[in-house]
Protein backbone atom coordinates (compact mmCIF):
# COMPACT_ATOMS: atom_id res chain seq x y z
CA UNK A 1 0.00 0.00 0.00
CA UNK A 2 1.26 3.47 -0.87
CA UNK A 3 2.23 5.84 1.91
CA UNK A 4 1.17 8.96 0.02
CA UNK A 5 -0.50 10.20 -3.14
CA UNK A 6 0.90 12.69 -5.63
CA UNK A 7 -0.24 16.27 -5.10
CA UNK A 8 1.94 18.67 -7.12
CA UNK A 9 5.37 19.78 -8.25
CA UNK A 10 6.34 23.24 -6.95
CA UNK A 11 8.80 25.36 -8.90
CA UNK A 12 10.81 28.17 -7.33
CA UNK A 13 10.95 31.23 -9.57
CA UNK A 14 11.35 35.01 -9.51
CA UNK A 15 7.85 35.70 -10.95
CA UNK A 16 5.25 33.04 -10.04
CA UNK A 17 2.40 34.68 -11.95
CA UNK A 18 4.39 34.89 -15.19
CA UNK A 19 5.71 31.33 -14.94
CA UNK A 20 2.22 29.97 -14.18
CA UNK A 21 0.96 31.80 -17.29
CA UNK A 22 3.79 30.26 -19.38
CA UNK A 23 2.83 26.72 -18.33
CA UNK A 24 -0.90 27.44 -18.74
CA UNK A 25 -0.22 28.37 -22.37
CA UNK A 26 1.92 25.26 -22.80
CA UNK A 27 -0.43 22.76 -21.12
CA UNK A 28 -3.83 24.43 -20.85
CA UNK A 29 -5.72 24.54 -17.59
CA UNK A 30 -6.59 27.14 -15.01
CA UNK A 31 -4.26 29.29 -12.91
CA UNK A 32 -5.31 30.23 -9.38
CA UNK A 33 -3.59 32.57 -6.95
CA UNK A 34 -3.03 31.95 -3.27
CA UNK A 35 -3.96 34.68 -0.82
CA UNK A 36 -0.60 36.36 -1.41
CA UNK A 37 1.49 37.03 -4.52
CA UNK A 38 4.02 34.34 -3.62
CA UNK A 39 2.17 31.21 -4.79
CA UNK A 40 0.20 30.31 -7.92
CA UNK A 41 -1.26 26.93 -8.91
CA UNK A 42 -1.90 25.56 -12.37
CA UNK A 43 -4.60 22.91 -12.57
CA UNK A 44 -3.78 21.29 -15.89
CA UNK A 45 -6.03 18.96 -17.89
CA UNK A 46 -5.87 15.38 -16.67
CA UNK A 47 -5.81 16.36 -13.00
CA UNK A 48 -2.16 17.39 -12.89
CA UNK A 49 -1.12 20.31 -10.71
CA UNK A 50 1.96 22.50 -10.87
CA UNK A 51 2.69 25.20 -8.31
CA UNK A 52 4.92 28.25 -8.61
CA UNK A 53 6.40 29.94 -5.57
CA UNK A 54 8.32 33.18 -5.23
CA UNK A 55 12.06 32.77 -4.76
CA UNK A 56 13.64 36.23 -5.10
CA UNK A 57 17.19 34.84 -5.16
CA UNK A 58 16.37 32.04 -7.59
CA UNK A 59 19.33 30.85 -9.64
CA UNK A 60 18.28 28.67 -12.57
CA UNK A 61 19.96 25.29 -13.02
CA UNK A 62 22.45 24.85 -15.83
CA UNK A 63 22.16 22.49 -18.77
CA UNK A 64 23.75 20.07 -19.20
CA UNK A 65 24.41 18.78 -15.71
CA UNK A 66 27.91 19.12 -14.36
CA UNK A 67 29.69 17.86 -11.27
CA UNK A 68 29.28 21.25 -9.58
CA UNK A 69 25.68 21.78 -10.69
CA UNK A 70 22.39 19.93 -10.55
CA UNK A 71 19.31 20.27 -12.77
CA UNK A 72 17.30 20.25 -9.52
CA UNK A 73 14.44 18.73 -11.54
CA UNK A 74 12.98 18.78 -15.04
CA UNK A 75 9.59 18.19 -16.60
CA UNK A 76 8.76 16.04 -19.65
CA UNK A 77 5.82 16.74 -21.97
CA UNK A 78 4.55 14.60 -24.85
CA UNK A 79 3.91 16.39 -28.16
CA UNK A 80 2.47 15.12 -31.43
CA UNK A 81 4.47 17.40 -33.74
CA UNK A 82 7.95 18.31 -32.54
CA UNK A 83 8.49 21.14 -35.05
CA UNK A 84 5.18 22.84 -34.30
CA UNK A 85 5.68 22.47 -30.53
CA UNK A 86 9.18 23.96 -30.84
CA UNK A 87 7.86 27.10 -32.53
CA UNK A 88 5.08 27.43 -29.97
CA UNK A 89 7.29 27.15 -26.87
CA UNK A 90 9.84 29.56 -28.35
CA UNK A 91 7.02 32.07 -28.97
CA UNK A 92 6.04 31.71 -25.29
CA UNK A 93 9.56 32.62 -24.18
CA UNK A 94 11.29 29.24 -23.81
CA UNK A 95 15.02 29.02 -24.48
CA UNK A 96 16.48 26.08 -26.44
CA UNK A 97 19.07 24.15 -24.44
CA UNK A 98 19.61 20.95 -26.43
CA UNK A 99 17.51 20.65 -29.58
CA UNK A 100 19.74 18.47 -31.76
CA UNK A 101 17.76 15.44 -32.93
CA UNK A 102 21.03 13.55 -33.59
CA UNK A 103 20.01 12.60 -37.14
CA UNK A 104 16.58 11.42 -36.07
CA UNK A 105 17.92 9.13 -33.35
CA UNK A 106 16.58 11.15 -30.43
CA UNK A 107 12.90 11.65 -29.65
CA UNK A 108 13.18 14.60 -27.24
CA UNK A 109 14.41 18.21 -27.19
CA UNK A 110 15.41 20.23 -24.13
CA UNK A 111 14.31 23.81 -23.42
CA UNK A 112 14.30 26.14 -20.41
CA UNK A 113 11.19 27.91 -19.21
CA UNK A 114 11.40 31.69 -18.64
CA UNK A 115 12.76 31.12 -15.11
CA UNK A 116 15.44 28.73 -16.39
CA UNK A 117 13.97 25.35 -15.38
CA UNK A 118 14.71 22.67 -17.98
CA UNK A 119 11.86 20.81 -19.62
CA UNK A 120 11.73 18.29 -22.45
CA UNK A 121 9.37 18.05 -25.37
CA UNK A 122 9.14 14.32 -26.08
CA UNK A 123 7.77 12.77 -29.23
CA UNK A 124 4.48 11.08 -28.36
Pair 78, 35 in one domain: no
pLDDT of residue 124: 85
pTM of whole model > 0.75?
A: yes
In tens, the pLDDT along 4-59 reads 677 889 899 999 999 999 999 999 999 999 877 799 999 999 999 999 999 988 88
Under the banding of pLDDT at 50, 70 and 90, the label for residue 77 is very high
Pair 81, 36 in one domain: no
Pair 88, 45 in one domain: no
Average pLDDT over residues 93-117: 90
Pair 67, 52 in one domain: no
Where in the chain does DSSP place strands (E)?
9-13, 30-33, 39-44, 48-54, 75-79, 95-98, 108-112, 118-123
Pair 54, 68 in one domain: no
Pair 46, 86 in one domain: no
pLDDT of residue 3: 67
The residue range of the domain holding 99 is: 59-124
CA distance 79 to 21: 19
pLDDT of residue 66: 67
- Domain count of the chain? 2
pLDDT of residue 1: 79
Amino acid sequence: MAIATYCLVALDCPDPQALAAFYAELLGGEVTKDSDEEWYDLYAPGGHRLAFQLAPGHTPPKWPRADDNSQQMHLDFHVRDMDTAKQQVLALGATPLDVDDRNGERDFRVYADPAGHPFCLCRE
